[in-house]
Structure 1
């Protein structure tokens, strides 16, 4: 089946084809016809199954090829990263028509977002907090919304956005067309759907017999020593066929430390965590999506919304707290029908967590395999070339100011210390070593009349600078009784 056979407008079919998207995924084949007809939909599908176009194409087509200015469609998502991803997907689909799409989320300056709204954006993709903020300031009018989408509703429930969602629903017309998408259907989400949707059809895009764990992901569970993890990861990153890789850490500090370590080892790594501002996080995500960085290190909260189809490996630097977090993490790979590899490190003190996850997901691996960077099974499990070590290249060389040949810069060495050939060594007495004359290396400064110039010392000695250019001043030592002692040279 093609998008044309699903009655998608030709201009959008061409826009998708320009990006190599020609055949719909199952969730798209099921939701697009119903969405085009105006039927309210509850779509239940795992992350990475293509649901963005499943609701995005009907939404854009129902607005018409040249919609009137003003917000007519609202897509609510739980995180900033997902807002950016959905915005980019919709913008691509609508690239051949004048429909204007705005991304509205926190952590970004208000001015640009307000300007988009005032310019007449017809579709708004945003997070609950910033949407309510602008609506409260009467800068965002939801009174004409006729298409509304809730994406990853279960994540919004987890993040405590349910009350905000209800407030947004209350500001839209009761006759709107509504689509809700969620990987799971907890009770509060079902209640929300019943309250704000009209006879929705429930679409399940997965096989009812399919287990919770995706069959196209290879799961490897290792018990690793914390001091050896960086070395193990560095060798994993040299596995055959490895593409983009996401590494999850428990803390922001661990993420920052790991990105620094891997960069030092020669890998192209970036990080997204709570200590980075929104612009830094967006820059890191853009570099990862574009392939300029092929390793992304993230904490759980910052990683929500990482929607990149070509991630081949996920590494859990520390074990997630529960099976839901585990599924969310490893779901970054094996997307769009592709295969993936998920590696999880279990520390000795976290074996009880693994026991609970193992039981909940029915892995049948109660004992993680004890693994070190030199373990033969590590190389065979991941296809790591024999002899691979944990560093791609040596420490980058630096050139001296004189243009000498590059040499490795010792850690902490200052620019002046690296200046090269004209350095002088001194003995403890302050005199030049190796018989070198100090005056030969650095002529003493003088005034125009030939008299010695002061050297800027603070001892009042003027030209008698104590750097070996002249003998140090003679000091008088006093005995304990206060009488002068023999002058010391």
Structure 2
């Protein structure tokens, strides 16, 4: 219906269901009017503005396929890719440019793209392009295009306020609706829809069992947030399914890698946000899962429209949590669906197996014998010269970091902080030694040494002459402080170690007037517990500090002192 109007250079507002070929409705007239490419014509004659990068790729592929005989030069420009290839293609000459608003304006600002000869302008997914987010950019682009042009708007959903706003930019447009007598935006009858009220913790188990249904092909799972996409994709991979996420936090190379792997069948589950809900046309998509309830009826229509395209059949399953019931009722009323009260469903509910043709006894984990997909790693990732910072971390780098072995550093520390380099390859044992001096070191208190229970018992059984800090001034005995190592704990004392394995740093001697009193050791009843009694360091000359209450009472008893007035002369 739109082809005769578009070929006659009339402005058109086209509305049709998803999967009915809206791209060819404006692509064929555009390529036909532009004709074969000419060497002296380098500026684009046609411009297609799309909201997402994935849709730009999809439209470009369709236009290249439609203009294969004519040899039309079609270029897609969008963010995330390097500028240089796009600039070189514009210098060589193009006929049609397909791009997102941001990159188009960047190229115009850098004077690489000239829209002065554009004769046809198309806004694909116009309801998304003319909302408050894209409207300022669209107005700037329209001002760069000559007033004598043909403008066409196409979308599956076209609210009344968007139509009124679009008439501002169109010249006597014709509104073409390829609809039946059913309500606007109603889902197609060849999609079997299931709406279930589920618990959040049981969603992944239902999805795991649904992915093992009879006759299932490719499946798209839509989540509300980017973090939810990563979580669902990771859990499905853990259960044995070939899945990959697609969202805005991934680099453009990773997003295109996931889409290519999905189209080529290397993965069969694509977990995405609404960036993949519009315009993505992939064959053999049999199931669509709304893991999170859509925000409105337009998002619901575009999500489930990824299946059942071009006369095929599909299955759409929507999960609604208890707190999302109000939102779903609004969607259900706007689309005139029969799911005002979703059925309470669990992964063990019988209707899950019967309605989705799932074999009885199926669990949420894919058996090893059925894991035949190559996976995302089998698809090569292209070096696109991505601009900006890639916030998504590549999966191979993450796996390499998780499986990287740790180095076991075995070294020996001493009191001075120096390392014993001769102890390489020996168990990690720390040796604490003191110089043989009659005067005890004030900084070293060997009584506070942390030892094992066996060492404590040995220390208590030693005679008084061998105890550290004894009155006769005998040299203290070296002891070893051990730590746990891989295999078994090493318990040893320095007296049992050979002299070659003991490292004694030469510490400077410190003169002291008189040694500090040592704590008196109390032998406990149990040999596995050591109790220390701190010495009384107070003297008779020490004064007791007054309390705060005593100071305040003394201050109140003092007479107030007023400043003296100067005498008059």
TM-score (norm 1): 0.76
3-state SS of 2:329 partner: helix
Tell me, yes or no, if the aligned pair for 2:6 and 2:12 is still in contact at 8 Å. yes
How many residue pairs align between the two structures?
408
Q: Which residue of the partner structure matches residue 54 of structure 1?
A: 25
Provide closer, same or farther for how the CA distance between residues 254 and 158 of structure 1 changes in structure 2, counting only shifts above 3 A.
same
CA distance in 2: counterparts of 1:124 and 1:486, whole angstroms = 82
Provide closer, same or farther for how the CA distance between residues 415 and 456 of structure 1 changes in structure 2, counting only shifts above 3 A.
closer
Tell me, yes or no, if the aligned pair for 2:208 and 2:363 is still in contact at 8 Å. yes
Q: CA RMSD in A?
A: 3.0
User: Which of 124, 131, 134 matches 2:104?
Assistant: 131
Q: Which residue of the partner structure matches residue 482 of structure 1?
A: 469
Residue correspondence of structure 1 range 345-384 to structure 2 within 5 A:
345-384=319-358
Cα deviation 1:341-388 (Å, max 9, x = unaligned):
111111122222222222322223232222222222111110112222
> Structure 1 stretch 375-384 or stretch 150-159: which is displaced more?
150-159
Provide closer, same or farther for how the CA distance between residues 159 and 329 of structure 1 changes in structure 2, counting only shifts above 3 A.
farther
Q: Which residue of the partner structure matches residue 94 of structure 2?
A: 121
CA distance in 2: counterparts of 1:158 and 1:304, whole angstroms = 15
3-state SS of 1:155 partner: helix
CA distance in 2: counterparts of 1:187 and 1:222, whole angstroms = 31
Q: Which residue of the partner structure matches residue 9 of structure 1?
A: none
Tell me, yes or no, if the aligned pair for 2:37 and 2:95 is still in contact at 8 Å. no
Q: Which residue of the partner structure matches residue 225 of structure 1?
A: 199
Tell me, yes or no, if the aligned pair for 1:478 and 1:485 is still in contact at 8 Å. no
Provide closer, same or farther for how the CA distance between residues 363 and 191 of structure 1 changes in structure 2, counting only shifts above 3 A.
closer
Residue correspondence of structure 1 range 28-427 to structure 2 within 5 A:
30-67=1-38, 68-158=41-131, 160-209=133-182, 212-301=186-275, 303-393=277-367
Tell me, yes or no, if the aligned pair for 2:246 and 2:273 is still in contact at 8 Å. yes
Q: Which residue of the partner structure matches residue 23 of structure 1?
A: none
Tell me, yes or no, if the aligned pair for 1:333 and 1:340 is still in contact at 8 Å. yes
- How far did residue 309 of structure 1 move? 4.3
Tell me, yes or no, if the aligned pair for 2:233 and 2:243 is still in contact at 8 Å. yes
> Structure 1 stretch 184-193 or stretch 361-370: which is displaced more?
184-193
Q: Which residue of the partner structure matches residue 439 of structure 1?
A: none
CA distance in 2: counterparts of 1:265 and 1:231, whole angstroms = 10
- How far did residue 52 of structure 1 move? 0.4
CA distance in 2: counterparts of 1:159 and 1:308, whole angstroms = 30
Provide closer, same or farther for how the CA distance between residues 195 and 323 of structure 1 changes in structure 2, counting only shifts above 3 A.
closer
Provide closer, same or farther for how the CA distance between residues 303 and 358 of structure 1 changes in structure 2, counting only shifts above 3 A.
closer
- How far did residue 286 of structure 1 move? 2.0
- How far did residue 170 of structure 1 move? 1.9
3-state SS of 1:219 partner: strand
3-state SS of 2:47 partner: strand
CA distance in 1: counterparts of 2:149 and 2:267, whole angstroms = 42
Question: Structure 2: which 5+ residue stretches go unaligned?
Answer: 372-401, 414-418, 435-444, 449-467, 471-475, 480-492, 497-569
Q: Which residue of the partner structure matches residue 466 of structure 1?
A: 426
3-state SS of 2:422 partner: coil
Tell me, yes or no, if the aligned pair for 1:107 and 1:277 is still in contact at 8 Å. yes
3-state SS of 2:354 partner: helix
- How far did residue 202 of structure 1 move? 1.9
CA distance in 1: counterparts of 2:363 and 2:289, whole angstroms = 18
- How far did residue 121 of structure 1 move? 0.8
CA distance in 2: counterparts of 1:194 and 1:43, whole angstroms = 13
CA distance in 2: counterparts of 1:98 and 1:201, whole angstroms = 30
Tell me, yes or no, if the aligned pair for 1:73 and 1:146 is still in contact at 8 Å. yes
3-state SS of 1:196 partner: coil
TM-score (norm 2): 0.66
- How far did residue 416 of structure 1 move? 8.3
